[in-house]
Each structure stands twice: as C-alpha cells, then as structure tokens.
Amino acid sequence: MKIGTASIIAGATMAVAALATPALAQDTIKVGVLHSLSGTMAISETTLKDVMLMLVEEQNKKGGLLGKKLEAVVVDPASNWPLFAEKARELISQQKVSVVFGCWTSVSRKSVLPVFEELNSLLFYPVQYEGEESSRNVFYTGAAPNQQAIPAVDYLMNDEKVVRWVLAGTDYVYPRTTNKILESYLKSKGVKSEDIMINYTPFGHSDWQSIVAEVKKFGSAGKKTAVVSTINGDANVPFYKELGNQGVKATDIPVVAFSVGEEELAGIDTKPLLGHLAAWNYFMSVKTPENDAFIKQWQTFIKNPKRVTNDPMEAHYIGFQMWVQAVQQAGTTDVNAVRQAMYGQKAKNLTGGVSVMGVNHHISKPVLIGEIKADGQFNTVWKTSGLVAGAAWSPYIPESAKLTADWTYPWVCGGCEKPKF
C-alpha cells in the first residue's frame, strides 16, 4: 500500500511538472501597447504600435530582459476615449503587463489616468501635450509646452516678426489648454486681444473652406499673421489641402503645427505647403549616426524603404530605452522599484545630445523648428543650443506658476506648492 501511494504521488508530481514546464517556457515580461489602430487617430497611432513591436523585437535579439523574453500585448482602443480606459484595465488586470506604452491625444491619456493610478501601473506617453499634469504613474516622453509651443511662438515673433495670431485647434483638452497658455504668454509680450483669433473644430473635421477664408481675412489687416495649429489627427489632411486651394502661402501667413509630422505629410500633396512650419523635438531629416541607424532599422522592420519616421516614434525609442535600463537597475519589473530607478535615467536621442528623466516625470529634449519641403520632409531652420528640461506646470497660468512636481522622497508630489525657502 505504501509503495502504491508513493508511486501515485511520484506520478502526480511528474504530471504537475510536465504541465508546469510549458508554462515556465512561456514565461515572459509583457509590454502593453495602447494605440488606436482604427478611427480618426489611426493615421498617427498605428505607426507607434509598429515601432513598439520593433523595439521589443530588438530587445529580444539582445537576450530579452532579466533573462526573459519580452512579449508585446497590442490592443486597439479605436480612437474611442472611454474605450482607452477599458483597454488599459484589460492590459493591467487581465493581461498582467509590466508597463504600457501608449495614447496620443490628451483626452485618451486623461481617460486612462485614473486606471493607472488605481492599479499602480506605469504608462509611457510619447506625444507633445499641454502640461498641467504630473502623475506618479505616467512618464511623459513627449514635449511639454516649454519644449514646443513657447519656443515656436518665440521663433515666429522674433524671426518672422509675427504680430497677429490665429490659434487653431481640435476641440479637446490639449489644444484648449495649450492655447490658454499661449494666449497668456502672448499678452505678457504685449499682444492685444484683438490680434488673437481662436478657433476650434471637432475631431475628423473635413470642411475647412469657410475657416481658411476667415484666417485669410484676419491676416489681411496689414499686420504679419501666423497660424499656430494644434489640429490633430486626420483633420489635418483637408485643412492643409484647403490652405493650398485658397493659396495661403507661408510667405503670407505661415502655419506652425504641433501635431503634423512626416507620417501625416505622407498623405498630402506638400508642394502648395512649402515653407509652412512644424515644431518638434525630432525630424527624420536630421543627420546623426543614431538617426541614420534608426531609420534603417525601421524601414527594414516595416519592409518598406519609403516609410518615414517622426517625433513620437523617437519618444517611444527614448522611453523604452529608459524603461529597460530602469528594470535592469532595479532587477525587477515591480512598478515601485522601476519608478524609483527611472529618475536620472539617460538615453541618447536621435538628433544629438542625451535626454535625462527628471523627478517631475518629464525628460529633457532639444527643440527644432522645420519648414515643410516638397518631399514631405522638414528642413530645420532653428533649434535650441542645448536640451530643454520639460516643465510640468506653466508659469503663464497663475494657479500653476506656484506648483512644483517632484516624485522623489520626501516630496511625493506632482502638484504641490513650491517650498517657501
């Protein structure tokens, strides 16, 4: 009887081991990818999904992370803002991802923010945004307003001698908050209210004829006028087409865009748009060894030598490097340990210089302004002499000017008042 029992136990143990072996073999570190692959934002976000797959594949070729392979878990929130929150919860609670790279619009980020804070997970957000936020669960690798919007206005004011301003945006939090900051900044520089025109349109807006006509009329007052565009997604295609249709040239009314890069221009006839501008922290046309290697790697991965790169792709490239380094430093994917290891992480950016993660969860970045060329690329016409540290809170909004963000001990604070000493 004893022999029989021992045999049964041994057999059961072997059976359990046999079942466990495949599970162990499949043990991976899951990386969530939360980008719209359909809907109005797919024009911009699909590429970011693809670049994350490339970065995960590259890391696995290096041996993975902590002795395990990385596994990308991709979901499609379909440009549906409440669905972003549902998909984020699915990634964290059901898929058990260790980190998430995702979102484009600020409304999607605002949608998922409570989920990441409730479940204590990490989001790497790769797109320029309006600032006025610092969460312990988000690392912002895109530009804050002081790394894009403010330098762009300074350039137009100082180099282009612009005195009249059209602030045109999609109707949601990023354009409205950015324009609130810009309006305050312009007025602090002596610009009068009557020299500022503000216009908002819904996502996916397609009929730009009357709006472009209004812009032309506003710019016909004998004062140098510019458009500062926070128009997002596929609405940019008919907007730029209508500029061309109505003969709005950069020499007359230059447009500087914060959400139009190489990917968006790939679907537009750029010849009528020569000389219009974009402000970013990266352009594909910048010549550095790092950028040349990145472009080659991307086009090889995507199997298309004509595919372009853009700024948010670089932001994911930097954020992913920093996360990998933080996990290696912490020796674990535990969120609290990785977050602590993120502070001070450094990564080479693709346009020169080394980005550093600050204690406010924003990175330092160079600022570049480029002119649209006929081939859909940008010619850099201005850049900062060095890297600019991202500011979570704008000094041009009175209630924000007194705030600071420092997530290291003893502050543990994303929006508290600055110390009095």
Does the pLDDT of residue 372 top 90, yes or no? yes
Helix ranges restricted to H, 334-388? 335-342
Least Cα distance to 103 among 80, 120, 131 occurs for: 80
pLDDT in tens, 220-247: 999 999 999 999 888 988 998 899 899 9
Q: Are residues 28 and 78 in the same domain?
A: yes
Instruction: Return the structure tokens found at 46.
Output: 């699909």
Which residues span the domain enclosing 88? 10-143+292-299+311-363
Q: Are residues 103 and 227 in the same domain?
A: no
Q: How confident is the model at residue 264 (pLDDT cuts 50, 70, 90)?
A: confident
Q: Which residues contact 97 (CB under 8 A, 6 or more apart)?
A: 30, 31, 32, 73, 91, 121
Q: Are residues 196 and 238 in the same domain?
A: yes
Q: Are residues 325 and 261 in the same domain?
A: no
Q: Are residues 36 and 137 in the same domain?
A: yes
Q: Are residues 40 and 126 in the same domain?
A: yes
Whether residue 410 lies inside any domain: the answer is no
pLDDT in tens, 308-352: 999 999 999 999 999 999 999 999 999 999 999 999 999 999 999
Q: Are residues 183 and 232 in the same domain?
A: yes
Measured CA to CA, the distance from residue 87 to residue 110 in angstroms comes to: 14
Measured CA to CA, the distance from residue 85 to residue 352 in angstroms comes to: 36
Does the pLDDT of residue 96 top 70, yes or no? yes
Per-residue pLDDT at 267: 73
What is the residue-averaged pLDDT of the chain? 92
Q: Are residues 25 and 125 in the same domain?
A: yes
pLDDT in tens, 165-206: 999 999 999 999 999 999 999 999 999 999 999 999 999 999
Q: Which residues contact 157 (CB under 8 A, 6 or more apart)?
A: 163, 189
Per-residue pLDDT at 26: 52
Q: How confident is the model at residue 21 (pLDDT cuts 50, 70, 90)?
A: very low
Least Cα distance to 123 among 197, 35, 200 occurs for: 35
Per-residue pLDDT at 420: 61
3-state secondary structure of 38: coil
Ramachandran class of 87: left when φ > 0, alpha when ψ lies in -120 to 50, beta otherwise: alpha
Whether residue 380 lies inside any domain: the answer is yes
Mean pLDDT of all residues in 358-365 = 97
Q: How confident is the model at residue 270 (pLDDT cuts 50, 70, 90)?
A: confident
1: how many CB neighbours lie within 10 A of its CB?
5
Q: Are residues 359 and 376 in the same domain?
A: no
Per-residue pLDDT at 6: 42
Instruction: For residue 267, report the phi and psi dihedrals to the nearest 5 degrees.
Output: -105, 15
Per-residue pLDDT at 151: 97
Q: What is the reported pTM?
A: 0.88
Q: Are residues 246 and 282 in the same domain?
A: yes
Whether residue 412 lies inside any domain: the answer is no
Domains contained in the chain, number: 2
Mean pLDDT of all residues in 373-385 = 94
Instruction: Return the structure tokens found at 276.
Output: 């219009």
